[in-house]
């Protein structure tokens, strides 16, 4: 099929780069978002999300006239659904955005067209929920129109490159649907395109992120063991990783972001009786913010300071290094726990503006965040923090206690520089 016009529903971290990339490859694209402020921001030349290179790409797409943005879909040859699938308070997939986007396509659906779901979804969503909604048109999925699932697999911070270079999985509800999906994505994808069925493609996505979650959990558990045994987990991991078949990930303050801390729950929800390991890994990673709070508490106690009367300077609030995203961020969870325990918290994250909540201020200047505190805690490996030196920090704060949850500081240098540094996973 020749794709002349496509409609991308959802203009977030995935939908906007995808719509813009199709447009810069010469396809007419209508980018749809139900959030009016997103549409207005884009129409006024602004951008509601931060991702390296995205501003240039979106400007080129809009400037060429190939990308238009709108609050409602239009007839098109293909529709791509890239809306969020958050989870509810009881950790079940909230498919309302997927349902609403699918229903929005319904009035325009015609014979021969292609619909692709990209949103992370529990196994069976495409062949079940999405197909059922679209078949209200009187057309049969697979026979009269094409329906496929193709997960996004791009890493925040590297989205534009990975969108094009990563291998792409396309699962059709019939083989012809996957083939039509391949024809669409090969417009810009340079990586391999792998065809399969829709439910396998949904499972691939969930397995990838769950695999990473479980591997981070074992690294976190190793850090607790190293602490108990009085050894250095970072050195231990480095040596273990010299084994040709071992690749242990990094312990840290926990797992954040909208993907890895969420997606494993979709498998737990679908099969609670078969997911013992996955549930245990989630529990380990979710406990990690409390582990850091306790590390802070012990460090303060050695100096006779209680957590409830302490002042803590927090460096880093995002869910990982060098991005502006605070969704499910363990650093935010740690700040909240410290606050609840009575500590006074001041923060500095150079990548974000306001602190996403009340009570705590994100200071533009590192010096302002640490000026009057008893202890400084490093929660994210942001590049600017790597160039911190003891002499500079000494001038900014009276604090001489540091908790390093991400192994960013060289302990020898900082100890010589007059600081007491306690690192995660390093028994004292
Ligand atoms: N983390 C650790 N230790 C590590 C690696 C990560 O504690 O060794 C933490 C990070 O600090 C962060 C969280 O895990 O809080 C997740 O970060 P990440 O870089 O592992 O992953 P995301 O969520 O930014 O992106 C993931 C990617 N999936 C995989 O690597 C399998 C990406 O390819 C997916 O497209 C994305 O999820 C998604 O949208 O699903």
Regarding the beta carbon of 208 and ligand 1, being less than 6 Å apart is answered yes
Helices (H), 65-156: 96-105, 131-134
Contact 193, 168 (CB under 8 A): yes
Nearest CA to ligand 1 atom 39: 259
The reported pLDDT for the residue numbered 242 is: 98
The reported pLDDT for the residue numbered 351 is: 93
H/E segment holding residue 10: none
The reported pLDDT for the residue numbered 120 is: 96
- What mean pLDDT comes out for the span 228-233? 97
The rounded percent of the chain whose pLDDT value lies above 70 is: 100
Q: Which two tokens stand for residue 263?
A: 């997606």
Angstrom distance (rounded) from CA 23 to CA 64: 8
Contacting residues for 340 by C-beta, under 8 A, at least 6 apart:
none
The reported pLDDT for the residue numbered 315 is: 98
- What mean pLDDT comes out for the span 3-30? 97
Helices (H), 302-401: 330-340, 366-370, 383-386, 390-396
The reported pLDDT for the residue numbered 359 is: 83
Exposure of 303 in the CB half-sphere (CA atoms within 13 A): 16
Residue 5, pLDDT > 80, answer yes
Q: For 272, which DSSP code?
A: G
Regarding the beta carbon of 82 and ligand 1, being less than 6 Å apart is answered no
Q: For 164, which DSSP code?
A: H
Residue 17, pLDDT > 90, answer yes
The reported pLDDT for the residue numbered 357 is: 86
Contact 118, 82 (CB under 8 A): yes
- Encode pLDDT of 234-287 as tens digits: 999 999 999 999 999 999 999 999 899 999 999 999 999 999 999 999 999 999
Q: Which residues belong to the active site?
A: 205, 259
- Encode pLDDT of 54-75 as tens digits: 999 999 999 999 999 999 999 9
Confidence of residue 427 (pLDDT cuts 50, 70, 90): confident
- Encode pLDDT of 149-172 as tens digits: 999 999 998 999 999 999 999 999
Across-strand partners of 194?
169
Angstrom distance (rounded) from CA 11 to CA 42: 10
Residue 227, pLDDT > 90, answer yes
CA-to-CA separations, 18 to 6, 327, 358, in angstroms, rounded: 11, 21, 34
Contact 118, 83 (CB under 8 A): no
The reported pLDDT for the residue numbered 53 is: 94
The reported pLDDT for the residue numbered 50 is: 85
CA of 281 to the centre of ligand 1 (A): 14
Residues 243, 247, 250, 254, Cα dihedral to 10°: -140
Regarding the beta carbon of 223 and ligand 1, being less than 6 Å apart is answered no
Residue positions counted in the chain: 428
Residue 116, pLDDT > 90, answer yes
Regarding the beta carbon of 31 and ligand 1, being less than 6 Å apart is answered no
CA of 250 to the centre of ligand 1 (A): 11
Low-confidence winner among 111-125, 210-224, 352-366 (lowest mean pLDDT)? 352-366
Atom of ligand 1 nearest to the CA of 14: 39
Residue 428, pLDDT > 90, answer no
């Amino acid at each position: 099929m020749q794709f002349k016009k496509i409609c991308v529903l959802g203009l977030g971290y995935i939908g906007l780069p995808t719509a813009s990339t199709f447009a810069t490859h010469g396809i007419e694209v209508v980018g749809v978002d139900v959030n009016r402020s997103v549409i207005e921001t884009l129409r006024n030349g602004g951008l509601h999300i931060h991702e390296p290179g995205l501003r240039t790409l979106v400007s080129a797409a809009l400037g060429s006239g190939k990308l238009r943005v709108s609050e409602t879909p239009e007839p098109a040859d293909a529709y791509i659904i890239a809306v969020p699938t958050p989870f509810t308070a009881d950790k079940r997939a909230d498919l309302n955005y997927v349902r609403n986007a699918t229903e929005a396509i319904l009035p325009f659906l015609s014979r021969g067209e292609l619909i692709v779901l990209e949103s992370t979804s529990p196994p069976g969503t495409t062949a079940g929920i999405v197909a059922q909604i679209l078949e209200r048109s009187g057309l049969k999925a697979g026979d009269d129109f094409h329906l496929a699932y193709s997960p996004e697999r791009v890493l925040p911070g590297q989205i534009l490159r990975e969108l094009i270079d990563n291998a792409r999985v396309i699962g059709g509800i019939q083989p012809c649907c996957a083939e039509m999906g391949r024809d669409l994505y090969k417009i810009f994808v340079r990586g391999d395109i792998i065809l399969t069925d829709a439910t396998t493609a949904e499972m691939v996505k969930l397995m990838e992120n769950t695999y990473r979650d479980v591997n981070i959990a074992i690294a976190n558990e190793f850090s607790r063991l190293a602490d108990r045994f009085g050894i250095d987990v970072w050195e231990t991991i480095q040596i273990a990783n010299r084994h040709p078949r071992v690749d242990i990930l990094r312990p840290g303050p926990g797992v954040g972001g909208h993907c890895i801390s969420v997606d494993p729950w979709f498998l737990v929800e679908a099969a609670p009786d078969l997911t013992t390991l996955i549930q245990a890994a989630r529990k380990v990673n979710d406990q990690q913010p409390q582990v850091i709070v306790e590390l802070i508490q012990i460090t303060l106690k050695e100096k006779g300071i209680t957590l409830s009367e302490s002042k803590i300077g927090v460096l880093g609030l995002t869910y990982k290094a060098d991005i502006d995203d605070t969704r499910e961020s363990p650093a935010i969870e740690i700040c909240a726990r410290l606050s609840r325990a009575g500590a006074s918290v001041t923060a500095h994250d150079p990548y974000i503006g306001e602190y996403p909540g009340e009570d705590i201020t994100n200071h533009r200047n590192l010096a302002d965040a640490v000026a009057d505190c008893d202890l400084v805690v490093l929660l994210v490996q942001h590049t600017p923090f790597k160039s911190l030196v003891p002499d500079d920090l000494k001038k900014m704060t009276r604090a001489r206690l540091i908790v390093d949850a991400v192994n960013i500081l060289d302990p020898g240098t900082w100890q010589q520089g007059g600081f007491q540094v306690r690192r995660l996973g390093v028994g004292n």
